[in-house]
Chain A
Amino acid sequence: MKSQTQNIINDFCITFATVNGSGSQTANNTILRALFKMGIPISGKNKFPSNIQGLPTWYSIRVSKDGYLGRLEKDDIVVCMNPASFENDLAYLTPGGVVLYPDDFKQSIQRTDITAYSMPVKALSRSADVSPALRDYIANMVYVGVLAWLLQIDLDEIQQALNHHFKGKQKAVESNFSVAREAFQWAGANLKKNDPYRVERMAPLEEYIMTDGNTAGALGSIFGGVQFVAWYPITPASTLPEALIEFLPQYRKDPLTGKNTYAVVQAEDELAAIGMIIGAGFGGLRSMTATSGPGLSLMTEYAGLGYFAEVPTVIWDVQRVGPSTGLPTRTAQSDMTMAHNLGHGDTRHVLLIPGSVTECFEFGWKAFDIAEHLQAPVFVMSDLDLGMNQWMTRKFEYPELPMDRGKIMWEEELEKRIGTWGRYADVDGDAIPYRTVPGNLHSSAAYMARGTGHDPVAHYSEDPQVWEINLNRLVTKYYSARDLVPQPMIDVLPGANQGIITYGSSDPAVIEARDILRKNGVNLNKLRLRAVPFTSEVESFLRSNDTVYVVENNQDGQMAQLLSQEFPALAGKLVKVAHNDGLPLSAEWIVESILKEGE
């Protein structure tokens, strides 16, 4: 056991083991935000069941003075409020770890290498000034208070965090805070601190905010001028459209008339959701949906139509674990190949891959510019970990570019192009035609969009040459996205001749793994992908490294597959470092896997 003199400050993992539906989210968010407000880098991850009430759920907060946000395999502190998972939860504790539990638990603790504190949860919550119906919810505030005392979190910060959580509703803040305060005082009078874990205030995180990727994606879309949203509820994507529904009425009234500049429709299924946004995109609106694997499967046929009829729209895939219904409340990066080629026949799509919550905001607005510029569906590949968990993340930045509406023509411009214009005619030689949209009242504006073979003036055609020229143009157009998409983030170490490629929510674990490997003498250059198609930097990176580990959260190494497909001559350098069990990757697993490969 570690002695009290070797304090462990701002560097540990706390897990709250509770029952879902018991209201623990308030307590967990309170601790998370209080720590954040003390300037300590944190990340929070919810591991929850596909259930409304009554099953075990865990919430882990990683406290990291070094700013590592990835998942840890073990817990240093467990707050166990669920007798059903108690035994298991103890097994996850590191030696020298701490357990907090209610004093009415019947089970005994076998482990002797940990510190245990029992809390009079019932007694302390009984004294709270709340209705009996709310008593179970408020019981969680007992562990907030006890933990605050143990870790030395300022009570003021707890109160501020509650204030944030309840959006200033004083009654709710006060009834919760009074329990936390009482528990804090009880702990001070009754507990003897016998463990090394505590926090210390750090410099304020002024450039950071705390939120989740789905909220960020919704806000980014709003600043991208989204006008039409169609969606169908699915975990873990639903909170994105729900955030749109919350924020659009606040931020998107027409300044001239006070009317809405948007419409949101909850569709009857994902087939309809994508049908609506393809329709709206054809109509000249910035349209979007958000879904997850099963919904994306249903959207396949329309995605192909969008590609072929050249309709701009934005599809967020907040990935979860498949195949099939899979693990609906767990995370994965396993729709990458599917989304890239979504649709039958020769189809390929542009993917944007945010690697942080801040990028969810940024790609939220950028996706519309790219979609309208290219006249094609654009997929934003988020996942449950990024989308639904709370992250400390850089502040959102206002779009630095004006909106790119692409080659859309209204009456006047069309008049100038009469004679050369055809809806699918490549006038500029850049594979991107000019388009008109319904409501353009010029007598030559109209055309018939279709999923069947068509010629440059959008007439039905079965001509073999017409077909092939058109399909080749679409591929050229797809590759032209290399100049539009976010470029990869590259970090090169002097003398290193091996590299690591990752993307999305696997990045935090890779950042940490790379630092650990470096301490072990393994130096890796790094490239974080932010889009498909791959830009020339990706090819150079592959060329300049002898071995490249591709780290991702799926079984098949899907990004490694896409890279091999695109750069077959370099495919021999790629080493797949992929696995998925529903949880975010940990640095520990990445380090072990790479060291094993290197043996």
Chain B
Amino acid sequence: MMETQVESKYTKNDYRGLPSTLCQGCGHNSISSQIISACFELGIQPEKVVKFSGIGCSSKSPTYFLNRSFGFNGLHGRMASLALGTLFADISLKGIGVSGDGDTASIGMGGFKHLVRRNMPMVYIVENNGVYGLTKGQFSATAEKGLMLKKQGTNPYLPVDIAMEALVSNATFVARSFAGDPRQVKELIKAALSHNGIAVIDIISPCVTFNNQEGTLHSYTWGKDREAPLHEISFIPPRDEIMVEDFEEGSVREVTMHDGSLVLLKKLENDYDPTDRWQALRILEDAQRNNWLITGLLYINPEIPSLVDMYDLPQQPLNRMSQEQLRPASSILDDINAMMQ
């Protein structure tokens, strides 16, 4: 499959972060590496990215990538609103949020769904392991019913499906992936960074310490045995020429992104149309019933205006505006005083 590398002045080191303090073998570390690779291969200026997170193991990880990017490690479950406010400061910046299943699907469900509903342009990664790590192994909202954990006993509740929640809240980009499939994670992140709207990537990211028993829903073995990719995904940046003749006719779907880049989806066993929301919902339902880990780009609509598109903002970042642009003239205050007399 195709690999692309945009020429830029940056080396991979320009995208690295501090050393990770997460457990050896944690799926989150692998995702951090793919964020670094994706940004490097796209040649994104690191200062043009802002990182966000809530609280939890996953939310620690923005420290471990993109050291030259601003970041805000905020409150538990409250990343969505923080990111929304920050990104209005300069709409040319790209936001990457990293959250966990507890942070998003439990305490932060409301904020998450409203961020999605507003189509805030940013990448929203959920590092989903079905368990609370930092507080030592309690069930999260994505843990499957019947899951048995050491100190907790058996989980009595049905799980939340984050991709499904995103879809029903009218997300314009929804993907699912597996930390054990780094290439797919990376290509999905690249596509997400090009999306002009909310891009939700729910990544099954096993917790090697608390929830990695053989065959359970968020374990490495389950992912490896049950992953069923919808397609092979490749991201082609806008400047690259692609040779469609490289592909056998009818074997590839193309999605043109807002910025002119292309997402190529090479057909695997079955044809899958990621622009069909109904098909996306159905395949998630099928996956649940059949215990599959469906991965890939579940749904995309590049045409919907994003939240910031609706605000008629100037090109100049709001945070660089001068007093002359922000304070009305004194004659206007005279008019106001006259109006109130």
* Contact between B73 and A438, CB atoms less than 8 A apart: no
Asked whether A209 lies within 8 Å of B328 as measured between CB atoms, the reply is no
Question: Interface digits, A302-317 against B, CB 8 Å rule (1 contact, 0 not)?
Answer: 1001000100000000
A279 touches B327 (CB 8 A): no
B314–A259 CB distance below 8 A:
yes
CB pair B70–A447 under 8 Å, yes or no, is: yes
Q: Does A210 contact B (CB under 8 A)?
A: yes
Pairs across A and B, CB under 8 Å, 20 listed: A223-B327, A257-B316, A260-B311, A261-B325, A263-B88, A263-B311, A263-B313, A268-B110, A272-B81, A275-B82, A280-B86, A301-B75, A398-B333, A402-B323, A403-B323, A438-B319, A448-B62, A448-B72, A448-B73, A452-B73
Residues on the B chain within 8 Å of A445, using CB: 47, 70
Are A228 and B50 in touch, CB under 8 angstroms? no
A286 and B85 form a contact (CB under 8 A): no
Partner of A438, one of B18, B67, B86, B332: B86
Chain A nearest CB, measured from B293 CB (Å): 31
Task: Kindly state whether residue A252 has any CB partner on chain B within 8 Å.
Answer: yes
Looking at the assembled complex, report how far the CB atom of B222 sits from the nearest CB atom of chain A, in whole angstroms.
33
Q: Name which residue of chain A comes closest to B67, CB basis.
A: A446
Interface contacts beyond A283-B88, A448-B62: sample of 19 additional A-B pairs, CB < 8 Å, sorted by A: A208-B341, A227-B326, A261-B321, A276-B82, A282-B82, A282-B86, A285-B85, A285-B318, A302-B75, A305-B74, A398-B330, A403-B323, A438-B70, A438-B319, A439-B89, A439-B90, A446-B70, A447-B71, A448-B72
| In the assembled complex, B33 has its CB within 8 A of some CB on chain A | no
Question: What distance in Å separates the Cβ of A505 from its nearest Cβ neighbour in chain B?
Answer: 19
Does B320 make an interface contact (CB < 8 A)?
yes
Which residue, of A224, A256, A275, A410, has the highest number of chain B Cβ atoms within 10 A? A275
Q: Which residues of A contact B (CB under 8 A)?
A: 208-211, 219, 222-225, 227-228, 230, 251-252, 254-257, 259-263, 265, 267-269, 271-287, 301-302, 305, 309, 395-399, 402-403, 410, 436-443, 445-452, 459-460
Smallest CB–CB gap between B86 and chain A, Å? 4
Contact A283 B89 (CB under 8 A): yes
Is B243 part of the binding interface, using a Cβ–Cβ cutoff of 8 Å?
no
State which residues 56-95 of B face A: CB under 8 Å.
62-63, 67-75, 78, 80-90, 92-93
Chain B residues within 8 Å of A256, by CB: 314, 316, 325
- Name the residue in B62, B72, B315 with the highest tally of chain A Cβ atoms < 10 Å from its Cβ: B72
Point out which of A402, A410, A450 has the most chain B C-beta atoms below 10 A from its C-beta. Answer: A450
CB of B324 closer than 8 Å to a CB of A: yes
Say yes or no for B337: interface residue by CB 8 A criterion: yes
Out of B85, B110, B328, B340, which one reaches A278, CB within 8 Å?
Answer: B85
Q: Considering the complex of A and B, which 8 residue pairs feature the smallest CB-CB distances, nearest first?
A: A279-B85, A283-B89, A275-B81, A225-B326, A284-B319, A439-B90, A276-B85, A209-B340
- Cβ–Cβ contact A451 & B75, under 8 A: yes
Kindly report which residue of chain A lies nearest to residue B331, judged by CB atoms: A398
Q: A35 CB to closest chain B CB, in angstroms?
A: 14
Asked if residues A227 and B321 are in contact (CB atoms below 8 Å), the reply is yes
Given A223-B328, A279-B86, A286-B326, A446:B71 Cβ within 8 A: yes
**B339, chain A: closest CB distance, angstroms:** 8
Chain B contacts of A273 at CB under 8 A?
A: 81
CA–CA, A302 and B87, complex, Å: 18
Known A225-B327, A285-B318, A286-B326; contact A440-B84, beta-carbon cutoff 8 A: no
User: Given A271-B111, A276-B84, A445-B47, A438–B90 Cβ distance below 8 Å?
Assistant: yes
Q: Is the CB of A287 within 8 A of B47?
A: no
A454's nearest neighbour on chain B, judged by CB, is B73
**In the complex, A260→B91 CA distance in Å?**
13
Docked complex: B270-325 residues within 8 A CB-CB of A: 311-321, 323-325
Query: A443 contacts B319, CB within 8 Å?
Result: no
The 8 Å CB contact of A259, one of B74, B78, B82, B312, is B312
B85 and A283 within 8 A (CB): yes
Contacting pair A254 B89 (CB below 8 A)? no
Residues of B within 8 A of A255 (CB): 324-325
User: Contact flags (1/0) for B28-53 with A, using CB distance below 8 Å?
Assistant: 00000000000000000111101100
Q: A227-B318, A395-B337 are in contact. Are A446 and B69 (CB under 8 A)?
A: yes
In Å, the complex CA distance between A284 and B87 comes to 10
**B226 interface hit (Cβ, 8 Å):** no
**In the assembled complex, B336 has its CB within 8 A of some CB on chain A:** yes
Q: Judging by beta carbons under 8 Å apart, are B73 and A450 in contact?
A: yes
Question: What residues on B are CB-neighbors of A265 within 8 Å?
Answer: 84
Tell me, yes or no, whether B253 is within 8 Å of chain A by CB. no
- Closest chain A residue, CB of each to CB of B111: A272
Contact B47 A446 (CB under 8 A): yes
Q: How many angstroms from the CA of A267 to the CA of B120 in the assembled complex?
A: 13
Inter-chain contacts of A275 with B (CB < 8 A):
74-75, 78, 80-82, 84-85, 111
Q: Chain A nearest CB: distance from B56 CB in Å?
A: 12
The CA-CA distance from A459 to B92 in the complex, in Å, is: 26
Chain A CB within 8 A of B114 CB: yes
A446 & B68 in contact (Cβ 8 Å cutoff) = yes
Q: Report yes or no: B45 in contact with A441, Cβ–Cβ below 8 A.
A: yes
Contact (Cβ within 8 A) A228 B47: no
By beta carbon, the residue of chain B nearest A209 is B340
Check if B82 sits within 8 Å of A278, measured CB to CB. yes
A282 to B88, CA, bound (A): 11
User: In the complex, how many angstroms separate the beta carbon of A200 from the nearest chain B beta carbon?
Assistant: 20
Query: Would B84 and A279 count as touching, CB distance under 8 A?
Result: yes
CA distance A16 to B42 in the complex (A): 69
Q: Which residues of B contact A208 (CB under 8 A)?
A: 341
Chain B, Cβ-Cβ closest to A437: B319
Q: Chain B's nearest CB lies how many Å from the CB of A207? A: 10
For A219, the chain B residues whose CB sits under 8 A away are: 336
Which chain A residues lie closer than 8 Å to B50 at the CB level? 438
B85–A448 CB distance below 8 A: no
Question: Whose C-beta in chain A lies nearest to the C-beta of B60?
Answer: A460
A261: which B residues are within 8 A, CB to CB?
314, 318, 321, 325-326
Knowing A230-B85, A275-B111, say if A399 contacts B327 (CB, 8 Å).
yes
A285 adjacent to B319 (CB under 8 Å): yes
- B313 / chain A contacts, CB cutoff of 8 Å: 259-260, 263
